[in-house]
Structure 1
Amino acid sequence: MGQVLNGGTYTMDLDAHEMLSDLRAVLRAAAPHSDPTDVELAAFWLIQAELLGLPEFGIRMLARDLERLEGLDSASAPATPSGADDAPIGSVDATGVPGVVALASAVRRAARNVEAHGLAIVGIRGAGALGILGLAARALAARGAVALLAAQSPATVAPWGGQAAAIGTNPLAVGVPRADAPPLVVDYATSTLTLAAVREARGAGVSLPEGSAVDAAGEPTTDPAAAAALLPAGLVGSLTGLVVELLAGVAVGGRVTDPAAPSSRGAVLIAFDPARAGGADIAQGTAALDREWRGAGGHLPARFDALASNPADLPHAIRVSEETASWLRARTSEAPGT
């Protein structure tokens, strides 16, 4: 284990497999009735978020989500996601579990039903922070499916031309199999910034980019502490965010409009077998599009490509902040059986 000073923040190199084991223990304690394979996958995604250099979607996110769960009325929160496992269309009520575990449950159900029926649609409601949607899309694409995931969240983004928040940052992710290469994953927010970026800017004491936020009076601001609403990524981003709000919020019952109800997220997962939809050569077709896109001067997203697809292939060590390491140690020590 080493320790360095990086931009004023102490960082530590932790054994990746020990981290994975600790995260599994923490998630099992937080979701004792969840399927063990969901916990395994969720822990792996949290590690992958750290490897991507996105700690706000990794262990820090888990810490915030567990704090959210502790503030819920346990009498009204189900102990585990619910829904029909064997139906091509179903739902997950994630009220009482970490959001990343609920997302893993949706992926497991989708994978099973794509194999059985060729199609799966899973709605998620009552979720906390779900994590990186692209990792879920990648997991399904690695099994040969085409996957689309979208998530909405409490209002933080103004509509195009507006001055007050109406929808969330509303990310969208697509994963598609590719021949002789990892799945092609496209994952992006429909706003100019994510809330994670705002938190990081606030913590680092730096300004937001020009044209990315407005204050409570609807005036442009670069102060992360004064940002009352983020701005959409142009008109197309605004309309895409609206579509996500409809699909992942309204259509699956994930949108919370009651101010007295706990805030939560909704999401939708759509996955299908491309061979049954006429795309028998999907991997070759994606590879051909890849070549044509690059040949035309385009850039395909590749940040997920270097990630290990199996926990056994994780690197020896992962660098995390000292604060993250301390939180994980403390939380692991509280988990039963550790």
Structure 2
Amino acid sequence: MNLDAHETLSDLRAVLRSTAPLSDPADVQLAAFWLIQAELLGLPEFGIGMLARDLERLDVLEGAPAAEATPVTDADPIGSLDATGVPGVVALASAVRRASQSVEAHGLAIVGVRGAGALGILGLAAHSLASRGAVALLAAQSPATVAPWGGHAAAIGTNPLAIGVPRGDRPPLVIDYATSTLTLAAVREARGAGAPLPEGSAVDESGEPTTDPAAVAALLPAGLVGSLTGLVVELLAGVAVGGRVTDPGAPLSRGAVLIAFDPTRAGGTDTADATAALDREWRGAGGHLPARFDALTADAAELPETIPVRDEAAAWLRGRASEASGA
């Protein structure tokens, strides 16, 4: 069904405010905007439906403390965010705000996130920062669902990476990908549709290949390079920032790391033009660059009048927004 974009944005803000009352209003607004953009990208599994699942996680964690941060101050461009007790997408928006402030003050920011739920599309966060002139690299770690290359049991998460770089003649160049052959969202989609998974994408509990989404015990990595890249993400976004949980009794969560910097202060005097030139050379050589983020606006005022939303997600949002407004 098609919903009014700005009414949907308002409903999302109301829901997020009710579940993250201590969060900065700017973070809530940006998080709601990203959820709308996920729907516009045709990735509803990272939009309203994802928020519904993440709020179910928070219901289980009811009573957990709200997110607290080690502030990024003028004296320190590095900080961390404990995202326990808030929607993951709001925690990511908070990390972007803190990073943006630090890049402006220092030219550099490193923000670690731990205890997070579903973060959404990392490329949207990279797009937000690159739209402001920064180069941004984000990586996210999650509970073990992916086997090592040549392995037979889950050891790391799908562990996506995203980078956003200003581009002179077009919107920021954004690259966002998982290090596994499939995402968990794709497995859920296949299970719901009763469709098989691609060959060579998953194994069952005995370590044997399977195409049955209901039988998946572990996803497979995107080759040896994808496997090692996933391990790198696990070290950066899991081990290094406290995202990886070693206590078997602790709730499952995600970790993330955000690194952003001002390219002019790193020697990149013509970064935007150089990115545009590289884009042309890459395509001219027969290469592919993701273009899904190119059509996105960085301004909520420029959203289309309506957005397509699945009926189930629309009904959930209306009910939850009504509850939030009456609270």
- In 2, distance between residues paired with 1:81 and 1:193? 33
- Specify the SS of the correspondent of 2:163: strand
**Do the aligned residues in 2 keep the contact of 1:81 with 1:96 (CA within 8 Å)?**
no
Q: 1:311 aligns with which of 281, 297, 300?
A: 300
Q: Indicate the residue corresponding to 2:138 in structure 1.
A: 149
Please state if 1:331 is matched with 2:307: no
Following TM superposition, the consecutive aligned residue runs of length 4 or more in structure 1 with deviations greater than 2 angstroms are: none
- In 1, distance between residues paired with 2:308 and 2:71? 39
- In 1, distance between residues paired with 2:261 and 2:310? 39
Q: Number of residues paired by the alignment?
A: 325
- TM-score between the two structures when normalised by the length of structure 2: 0.98
**Do the aligned residues in 2 keep the contact of 1:146 with 1:177 (CA within 8 Å)?**
yes
- In 2, distance between residues paired with 1:297 and 1:318? 33
- Specify the SS of the correspondent of 2:103: helix
* 1:256 to partner: Cα distance: 1.0
* 1:257 to partner: Cα distance: 2.2
Q: Indicate the residue corresponding to 2:208 in structure 1.
A: 219
* 1:81 to partner: Cα distance: 3.5
**Do the aligned residues in 1 keep the contact of 2:179 with 2:227 (CA within 8 Å)?**
yes
Q: Indicate the residue corresponding to 1:258 in structure 2.
A: 247
CA spacing shift, 1:228–1:63, aligned 2, 3 Å: same
* 1:321 to partner: Cα distance: 1.2
- In 2, distance between residues paired with 1:309 and 1:276? 24
Q: 1:57 aligns with which of 27, 32, 46?
A: 46
Q: Indicate the residue corresponding to 1:110 in structure 2.
A: 99
Letter in 2 for 1:15: D
Letter in 1 for 2:166: P
Letter in 1 for 2:71: A
Q: Indicate the residue corresponding to 2:68 in structure 1.
A: 81
Please state if 1:276 is matched with 2:265: yes
Letter in 2 for 1:160: W
* 1:102 to partner: Cα distance: 0.2
Letter in 2 for 1:83: T
| CA deviation profile, 1:154-177 (whole Å, cap 9, x unmatched) | 000000000000000000000000
Q: Indicate the residue corresponding to 1:37 in structure 2.
A: 26
Letter in 2 for 1:193: L
- Specify the SS of the correspondent of 1:225: helix
Letter in 2 for 1:165: A
* 1:295 to partner: Cα distance: 1.1
Q: Indicate the residue corresponding to 2:196 in structure 1.
A: 207
* 1:319 to partner: Cα distance: 1.1
Q: 2:161 aligns with which of 172, 178, 183?
A: 172
* 1:78 to partner: Cα distance: 2.0
**Do the aligned residues in 2 keep the contact of 1:34 with 1:81 (CA within 8 Å)?**
no
* 1:80 to partner: Cα distance: 3.0
Q: Structure 1 vs Structure 2: percent identity of aligned residues?
A: 81
Q: Indicate the residue corresponding to 2:59 in structure 1.
A: 70
- In 2, distance between residues paired with 1:326 and 1:291? 44
Please state if 1:298 is matched with 2:287: yes
- Specify the SS of the correspondent of 1:335: helix
- In 2, distance between residues paired with 1:298 and 1:319? 31
- TM-score between the two structures when normalised by the length of structure 1: 0.95
RMSD, aligned α-carbons:
0.9
Q: Indicate the residue corresponding to 1:6 in structure 2.
A: none
Residue pairs, 1:216-255, within 5 angstroms? 216-255=205-244
Q: Indicate the residue corresponding to 1:5 in structure 2.
A: none
- Decide which moves more: 295-304 or 227-236: 295-304
Please state if 1:197 is matched with 2:180: no
| CA deviation profile, 1:136-183 (whole Å, cap 9, x unmatched) | 000000000000000000000000000000000000000000002100
Ranges in structure 1 where 5+ consecutive residues have no aligned partner: 1-11
- In 2, distance between residues paired with 1:222 and 1:152? 25
Q: Indicate the residue corresponding to 2:174 in structure 1.
A: 185
Letter in 1 for 2:72: D
- Specify the SS of the correspondent of 2:290: coil
**Do the aligned residues in 1 keep the contact of 2:69 with 2:79 (CA within 8 Å)?**
no
